[in-house]
Amino acid sequence: MAAPHPAAVVAGIGAWLPPDVVTNHDLSARMDTTDAWIRQRTGIRRRHIASPGTAASDLAVEAGRRALESAGLRTVDMVVLTTTTPDKPCPATAPAVAARLGMEGVPAFDVAAVCSGFLYALATSAGLIAAGTADHVLVIATEVYSAIIDPADRGTAVVFGDGAGAVVLRRGDPDEWGALGAFVLGSDGVHEDLIQVPAGGSRQRKSGLPPGPGDEFFRMRGKEVFRHAVQRMTTACRQATLAAGWEPDRVDRLAAHQANARILTAVSERLGLAGDQPLSNIEQVGNIGAASLPVLLAHSAERGELKPGHHLLLTAFGGGLTWGATTLVWPQL
């Protein structure tokens, strides 16, 4: 019988939020919204926002450093970064982050899958470990959404925040705690216009036309996205549980992309989970895109809501459209 592939095992975790906080009351002082509306429709009370001059790489370095410390490592042999808000359109953000973490010469690249980016980056990294290309990979998700949010768009300005999270993956055994399970990933580009930044890419630049008003900002058709998010994350979770050989009641905790508290409740109810099983930090951080999942894992582990031995389902959904899910048993870190 062929030997099983080596697994990618979570060996360290770190998160970093920029210190400045914007509350719902701050937002309601400057736009037509209320604290009550934001809390009822999204579950968010506050979000962290990067100060002027701070870029995605700055947050990534802080989160990456913490994940390396948590793993007891100074270096890895690959850095995979995911973001919707890179420092620049070109080059990728990962090489600069690797260099600032003292890893000049280490291969480093970006993966783009909007809010599903962390799961796509984990899957990519797990594949590199299984193929023997890397033994240790630093996976960083970092977002400065405040750089692309239209401050006048109340449908997005109240939802998004900034932050970064990271994990270290090491080569290990599929049966040990921390080993990532099979990945369920999907995309549907038919709906690419539901979440987009219309200007700044080759489509608009080569059109010969200047950007339309506000086209350099992030646009989201919230109601339609909501429906897709619930359906895709629920299905992906069921498929990932099946692939792991877990009975549905084997799941202890759900770590879902923190897009909206009502989405989390809907997914959790469809999966038949109880009230304390979905992990949540959306109240304090809002939707931080690709960084949502690793920051949620770090905060939940810190607060003791995610414990070693917990059977964990991870799921995300984002622009593209893209989505994914995987499983793991949370390790002792």
223 binds ligand ACO (CB under 6 A): yes
Interacting residue with ligand ACO among 20, 23, 26, 37 (CB under 6 A):
37
Output the smallest distance, CB 71 to ligand ACO, in A. 28
187 binds ligand ACO (CB under 6 A): no
317 binds ligand ACO (CB under 6 A): yes
Q: Are 224 and 194 in contact (CB under 8 A)?
A: yes
Interacting residue with ligand ACO among 319, 323, 324, 331 (CB under 6 A):
319
Interacting residue with ligand ACO among 8, 68, 103, 229 (CB under 6 A):
229
115 binds ligand ACO (CB under 6 A): yes
Count of chain residues binding ligand ACO (CB under 6 A): 25
Instruction: Give the residue nearest to ligand ACO (CB).
Output: 222
Annotate 196-227 with b (16+ C-beta within 10 A) or e (fewer): bbbbeeeebeeeeeeeeeebebbbbebeebbe
Q: Long-range contacts: 151-157, Cβ < 8 Å, 24+?
A: 151/30, 151/31, 152/31, 153/214, 153/217, 153/219, 154/31, 154/32, 154/33, 155/220, 155/222, 156/218, 156/219, 156/220, 156/222, 157/27, 157/31
Interacting residue with ligand ACO among 18, 289, 294, 331 (CB under 6 A):
289
Active-site residue flag, 257: yes
179 binds ligand ACO (CB under 6 A): no
Which pair of structure tokens corresponds to residue 321?
A: 């459209």
Q: Using CB under 6 A as the criterion, what x/- string covers residues 53-92 for binding ligand ACO?
A: ----------------------------------------
23 binds ligand ACO (CB under 6 A): no
Catalytic residue among 24, 260, 281, 287: 287
Closest-CA residue to 300 (of 285, 277, 280) = 280
In degrees and rounded to multiples of 5, residue 184 shows phi and psi of -105, 120
Annotate 249-267 with b (16+ C-beta within 10 A) or e (fewer): eebbbbbbbbbbbebbbbb
141 binds ligand ACO (CB under 6 A): no
Interacting residue with ligand ACO among 172, 318, 324, 331 (CB under 6 A):
318
Output the smallest distance, CB 204 to ligand ACO, in A. 19
Closest-CA residue to 268 (of 293, 248, 292) = 248
Active-site residue flag, 90: no
Closest-CA residue to 17 (of 144, 119, 147, 151) = 144
Which pair of structure tokens corresponds to residue 50?
A: 């990067």
**Distance between CA 265 and CA 22 in Å, rounded?**
25
Closest-CA residue to 13 (of 317, 308, 298) = 298
| DSSP 8-state assignment for residue 6 | P
Output the smallest distance, CB 323 to ligand ACO, in A. 10
159 binds ligand ACO (CB under 6 A): yes
Q: For the chain, how big is the Rg over CA atoms in Å?
A: 19
Interacting residue with ligand ACO among 17, 92, 103, 114 (CB under 6 A):
114
259 binds ligand ACO (CB under 6 A): yes
226 binds ligand ACO (CB under 6 A): yes
Interacting residue with ligand ACO among 39, 45, 100, 154 (CB under 6 A):
154
In degrees and rounded to multiples of 5, residue 24 shows phi and psi of -60, -35
Catalytic residue among 257, 281, 299, 310: 257
Active-site residue flag, 191: no
Beta strands 253-256 and 311-318 are parallel
Residues that bind ligand ACO (CB under 6 A): 33, 37-38, 41-42, 114-115, 154-155, 158-159, 195, 222-223, 225-226, 229, 259-260, 263, 287, 289, 317-319
| Catalytic residue list | 115, 257, 287
